[in-house]
Each structure stands twice: as structure tokens, then as C-alpha cells.
Amino acid sequence: MYLYELFQRKPCVFSLEVFPPKKNGASPESLYPKLKELAKLSPDFISVTYGAGGNAADDSTCKIASYIKHDLGIEALAHLTCVNSGKEQIEQTLRQLHENEIENVLALRGDINPTLPRKNDYQYASELAAAVHASGFNVVGACYPEGHVESENLRQDVENLHHKIDAGATHLITQLFFDNGVFYRFLNMARKAGIQVPIEAGVMPIVSKSQVERTVALSSASLPSAFTKMISKYDHDEQALFDAGIDYAIRQLRDLIEGGADGIHLYAMNRPTVAQKVYEGIRDLL
């Protein structure tokens, strides 16, 4: 199924994101037990990252996406980046995805890693999106509620989304954010700019202090006062911070669903327990 069909069937699509195991040479199969737990939440689809953090990628994304679709019976969205992949490798990956009957690809430029030489066959995500679309896949794009770090301003970034739509993107997923006001402002700007495809709101539950430091460094997301007060208040109480982080994510997601978001994309961070607790707090709205 092409994912854009989901948005035609229900008012708010619910999806999850996972990443291939990285530590100690873990195999893709080591993630399968966690995926079985996540499948119990009945997400509309699960996305699988590729070369996160600018790291070189392998075939783990395809293997995991194939397991999600064929063994769990859930639609899979395979991420694909071009910053560290040349045209030949991209084509090889697309062939592999096609052979595994993966129909949906999230086309991304990817994070630049200064320790790896950058590939230049595709300069921008929109160029990769066009190639993915031409290969017969449904294309999904990323967007940034606070603007991409390399854009001059948010307005320019919103205008650039037209390139992704013209290249074939049928829906967009946002970078994570912690202030819903940021999302609503971005959504309003996008609609006024003529971006009419569904836009999913990406939310990551923050349940530890180390996660805050790591996540903010990678995403450049701003932190609203309510969030920073929560972190400060429970700085030295691990369990209390965990509970408060779950509660914050639930309140954020409930507001987004009630506010009419086309979909919510939960960055599950391969933690079924966190995803389950958050889901319990929003399931009545889904």
C-alpha cells in the first residue's frame, strides 16, 4: 500500500520510527522481538532509518522493513539517504527494496559526517526523491518546523518544500519538536505557501537527561520553558524524569491530534515500553 492512501481513510494516521541496532555489531534480527511488541500498538506504518547520524549504511534497513511488512503485516517506510551513497549504491538499494516488495521510501539528504567523504551524485533530498519516484516507489519527504539548520530562514525552507512535492513526495514527516506552537506556525505557513500534502507531526518522548543532550544536538529543536522546567525539576530523579517525559509526550500528542494534525509520528527509539506508555495515553483519540 502507498502510504498516502492512509490519510484518505482516517483523520489521524499513527506511525512509529525505529532504527537498525548499532551497538557491538548487533544484527537486524536482534530488533525483531522489540518490533513484535511495537506491532501490538497497531501503528499504520513503521519507518526504519538508514545511515543515521551520517554513518555509513548497510542492508539492515531493507531487512528490517521486510520483516515489518511480511512478518508483522504492517506497512514499512524505508529511509534512504544520499549524503554517503553514490548513484550506483542508491540504485542497488532501490533494487533490493523492490525485491522485498517495499513500496514506500523516505528520501533524505542525510546528516553530514565530517569523517566520511560526501557523495555528490545527489546534492539535495529533492534530487534523490525524483530518482526514487522514477524507480516506481511512493516517496515521502522530511520537513522542519523550525527550519533546516542550513536554510536562511523558515520561510525559505517552506518554499523549498515545493521541490520535494514536485519531485513526487506525497506526504511529509516533521523533524521532532517540543513546542506545538512551532508546529502550528509551520503548518499554517506551509498551507499558505500551497503545500497541500498531508504533514505528520514527529514527536520523541524524552525520558532521560542524556537523551536531551543527544537529541537537541542532532535536531537543533528549541526547548520551551515547560520542557526545560521539567528537566530541571527532575534532574536527579531518574524515575520521576521518565514519568514526566512520558506525560509531556502524551499531552503534546493529544493536543496535536485534537488540533487536527494529519498524523503523528512517534520516534520510538527502539523502546517498546516507552511507546506503549505513550500510546495508552492517546489511544482513545485514535
How far is the C-alpha of 35 from the C-alpha of 37, rounded, in Å? Answer: 5
Q: Catalytic site residue 17? A: yes
Q: Is 137 exposed, middle or buried (0-12, 13-18, 19+ CB in 10 A)?
A: buried
Of the candidates 30, 13, 71, 16, which has an alpha carbon nearest to the alpha carbon of residue 276? 16
Cα separation values, 83 from 53, 91, 120, Å: 11, 14, 7
Q: Which residues pair with 112 in a beta bridge?
A: none
The HSE-up count of residue 193 (CA atoms within 13 Å, CB side) is 19
154 touches 186 (CB < 8 A): yes
C-alpha separations of 46 from 23, 66, 72, 141, 162 in Å = 21, 11, 11, 15, 25
Neighbour tally for 236: CB within 10 Å: 8
Q: Which of 17, 103, 146, 200 is catalytic?
A: 17
Q: Where are the strands (E) in the chain, listed by range?
A: 13-18, 45-48, 75-81, 104-108, 138-143, 169-174, 199-203, 263-267
The Cα–Cα gap between 195 and 143 comes to 11
Question: What is the C-alpha end-to-end distance of the chain, expressed in Å?
Answer: 20
Give the catalytic positions in this structure: 17
